[in-house]
C-alpha cells in the first residue's frame, strides 16, 4: 500500500541509498537527482516508515508525557493540563515527534509504568509533571541515563535536566502583599499535604512576605490536606479554630479552595465579604465560582511550547549547532483580581 524507498528507487532507476540520501538532504547527491527524488516522492505519495527509521536509528521519534493523577483526585481532574498539552504537542509535531501520554490510576506513583517506558525504549525522552520535593522518578531517570525534562522543580537529581516551573514563591508572596495592602494581618495558608514541590515553594513565599511586613508567622494559620475538594473542606475549619482566626486565606489549589469555601459557607462565612480568599493557580472553576475567586494564572499553552523547546534543546539529535543545552526557567503567574478578596 504505502510506497517504500525501494519503490522510489525502482521508479527512478537509482539505488535506495541515493534515494535515502536525497530525502535526508545529505550533501553528496546531485542537485538534479535530488529534485527528481523529491518529485517522485510527492507523486508516489511516499512517506517514510517510522518503524524502519526507529529501528535503524535507535530512536522512536516520540516523547512520553507521564500524567500522574494524585491520590484523591476526582473525576474531572487535571483540566490544568489540556492547554499545556496542546502547546506541547504543537511544538513536538514541528520537529516530527509524536506525543504519547501515559497516565495512571490516581495514587499510582507510576514508577512501574515509567520503568516500562524506559526499558522498552518506547520514547526518546520523558516529560514529568507534578514533581515532588524528593522525586524518585527523577532519581531513576538520571541514574538510568534516560533523557527527560520536568514541569516543576525538585530537589532530586543533579539539576542536569531541563525544567520549567511556575514561580509559586513569588505568587505566594504577591498574594500576601496584596492582602496586606488591603488591610489584612492575619492571613492563613492552605496547601497540599503531599510533598509536591509547589506546595513548599508557595509556603516559602508566603512566610517570606509575612516577615517582610513584620507579621509573625502563626503555625495555627497554616494547614495542609489532600489536594482536592475534600481536603480543602476538611482542613479549612482548622485554621478557623485558631485562637486568632484569619481574615484572609490563600489556597494553593483551586479544588482545595472550592472545598474550603464550602466549609466557610457552612460556618456562615461569606468569601469576599467576611473573608478574603485568594487562589494560587487559576482554573476556569475560579472564574465561574461565586464569588469569582481572585487567582494567579499561568500561561499554560506557551509553557507547553516552551518546555518542548527546552527538551529538544537538550537532546543531541535535535540541539542546534552549539550542541545540547540544559535550560531551566521559572515563569511568573499573573494576578487575576476577581470578587473574593
Partner DNA sequence: TGTGTTCTCGTAAACGTTTACGGAAAAACG
Partner DNA sequence: CGTTTTTCCGTAAACGTTTACGAGAACACA
Q: Among residues 282, 283, 302, which one has the least CA distance to residue 86?
A: 302
Give the sheet arrangement for strand 294-297, strand by strand. Answer: 222-225, 187-192, 248-251, 276-279, 294-297, 334-336
Nearest to 165 by CA among 154, 174, 152: 152
From the list 15, 78, 57, the residue with the least C-alpha distance to 228 is: 78
Of 26 and 273, which has the nearer Cβ to DNA? Answer: 26
In the numeric block, the cell 492552605 is attached to 190
How many residues at the interface with a second copy, by CB under 8 A?
48
CA dihedral 252, 157, 90, 48 (to 10 degrees): -160
Q: Which of DNA, a second copy, none does residue 35 bind (CB under 5 to 8 Å by kind)? A: none
Closer to a second copy by CB, 48 or 324: give it: 48
Q: Does 119 bind a second copy (CB under 8 A)?
A: yes
Q: Segment contacting a second copy (CB under 8 A): 7-15, 102-110, 162-170, 189-197?
A: 102-110
Determine the Cα–Cα distance for residues 328 and 150; give it in Å rounded to an integer. 9
- For the chain, the distance separating the N- and C-terminal CA atoms, rounded to the nearest angstrom, is 63
Stretch that binds a second copy, among 20-28, 82-90, 192-200, 245-253 (CB under 8 A): 82-90
Please choose, out of 6-14, 30-38, 52-60, 239-247, the segment that lies near a second copy by the rule CB under 8 A. Answer: 52-60
Q: Which of 17, 79, 96, 302 binds DNA (CB under 7 A)?
A: 17
Nearest CB to a second copy, comparing residues 62 and 95 = 62
Virtual CA dihedral for 241, 244, 245, 251, nearest 10 degrees? -100
Among residue numbers 41 through 80, which ones bind DNA (CB under 7 A)?
Answer: 46, 48-49, 51-53, 55-58
In the complex, least distance from residue 317 CB atom to a second copy, rounded to whole angstroms: 15
- Which residues of the chain form contacts with DNA (CB under 7 A)? 4-6, 13-18, 20-21, 23-24, 28-33, 46, 48-49, 51-53, 55-58
Amino acid at each position: 500500500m504505502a510506497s517504500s524507498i525501494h519503490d522510489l528507487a525502482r521508479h527512478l532507476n537509482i539505488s535506495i541509498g541515493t534515494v535515502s540520501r536525497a530525502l535526508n538532504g545529505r550533501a553528496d547527491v546531485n542537485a538534479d537527482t535530488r529534485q527528481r527524488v523529491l518529485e517522485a516522492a510527492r507523486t508516489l505519495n511516499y512517506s517514510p516508515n517510522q518503524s524502519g527509521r526507529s529501528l535503524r536509528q535507535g530512536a522512536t521519534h516520540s516523547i512520553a508525557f507521564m500524567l500522574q493523577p494524585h491520590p484523591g483526585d476526582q473525576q474531572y481532574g487535571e483540566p490544568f493540563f489540556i492547554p499545556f498539552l496542546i502547546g506541547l504537542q504543537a511544538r513536538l509535531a514541528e520537529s516530527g515527534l509524536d506525543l504519547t501520554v501515559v497516565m495512571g490510576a490516581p495514587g499510582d506513583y507510576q514508577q512501574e509504568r515509567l520503568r516500562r517506558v524506559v526499558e522498552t525504549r518506547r520514547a526518546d525522552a520523558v516529560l514529568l509533571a507534578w514533581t515532588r520535593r524528593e522525586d524518585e522518578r527523577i532519581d531513576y531517570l538520571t541514574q538510568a541515563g534516560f533523557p527527560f525534562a520536568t514541569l516543576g522543580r525538585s530537589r532530586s537529581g543533579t539539576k542536569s535536566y531541563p525544567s520549567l516551573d511556575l514561580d509559586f514563591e513569588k505568587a505566594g508572596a504577591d498574594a500576601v502583599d496584596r492582602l496586606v495592602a488591603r488591610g489584612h494581618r492575619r492571613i492563613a495558608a492552605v496547601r497540599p499535604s503531599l510533598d509536591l514541590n509547589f506546595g513548599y515553594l508557595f509556603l516559602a513565599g508566603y512566610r517570606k512576605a509575612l516577615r517582610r511586613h513584620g507579621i509573625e508567622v502563626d503555625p495555627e494559620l497554616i494547614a495542609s490536606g489532600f489536594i482536592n475538594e475534600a481536603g480543602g473542606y476538611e482542613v479549612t475549619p482548622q485554621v478557623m479554630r485558631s485562637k486568632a482566626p484569619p481574615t484572609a486565606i490563600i489556597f494553593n489549589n483551586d479544588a482545595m479552595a472550592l472545598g474550603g469555601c464550602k466549609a466557610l459557607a457552612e460556618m456562615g462565612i461569606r468569601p469576599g465579604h467576611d473573608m478574603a480568599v485568594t487562589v494560587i493557580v487559576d482554573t476556569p472553576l475560579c472564574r465561574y465560582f461565586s464569588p469569582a475567586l481572585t487567582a494567579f494564572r499561568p500561561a499554560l499553552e506557551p509553557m507547553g511550547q516552551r518546555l518542548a523547546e527546552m527538551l529538544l534543546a537538550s537532546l543531541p539529535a535535535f540541539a542546534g549547532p552549539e550542541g545540547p543545552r540544559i535550560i531551566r526557567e521559572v515563569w511568573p503567574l499573573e494576578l487575576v483580581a476577581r470578587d473574593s478578596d
